[in-house]
Amino acid sequence: MKELTVEAITENIDVVTDFVNEQLLQAGCPPKTMSRIDIAIDELFGNIANYAYHPGVGPATVRVELKHDPLSVVITFIDRGIPYDPLKNEDPDVTLSAEERKIGGLGIYMVKKSMDGIRYEYKDGQNILIIEKLL
């Protein structure tokens, strides 16, 4: 398992993405799968950066763990910001036009649809969001 802790600011999305991609490349992750994971990182870390400590700034930790049976990657996002479970919200009605839809929720919906597993817990004063993707 590898771990990186950075300030939860949008400028660090690329730092986190590069860190995760380094692990994925070593695991022989297919480009299409890596692209889906990159989109998930952008959404999830972006949400932490924009909302977890608002209006302040705080740390966020990203852990990357490779599993072997079956080959998959587990990425954990941890922050000590405002408790928030993004999975409790109702999925947006994607059959509606963009103008008719409520604002928000589409990014986490895309993450849920593109990953093989996603879960959230609040423990010891920390938001812990875990995504898993088969490689």
Q: Where are the domains of the chain?
A: 2-134
Tell the residue number behind the tokens 């490689």, with chain if given: 135
Query: CA separation (Å) from 42 to 36, 95, 100?
Result: 10, 24, 25
Which whole number is the average pLDDT over 26-43? 96
* Contact yes or no for 114/43 (Cβ under 8 A): no
Q: Which CATH class is domain 2-134?
A: alpha beta
Instruction: Tell me: pLDDT of 102 over 80.
Output: no
Q: What angle do CA 78, 7, 9 make, to 5 degrees?
A: 100
pLDDT value of residue 90: 73
The mean pLDDT of 68-95, rounded to a whole number, is: 87
Q: Could you give the C-alpha distances from 32 to 23, 39, 119, 129, 134, in angstroms and in order?
A: 15, 11, 23, 22, 12
Whether the pLDDT of residue 92 is over 60: the answer is: no
State how far the Cα of 135 lies from the Cα of 53, in Å rounded to an integer: 33
pTM of the entire predicted model:
0.92
- Whether 97 has a pLDDT exceeding 90, the answer reads no
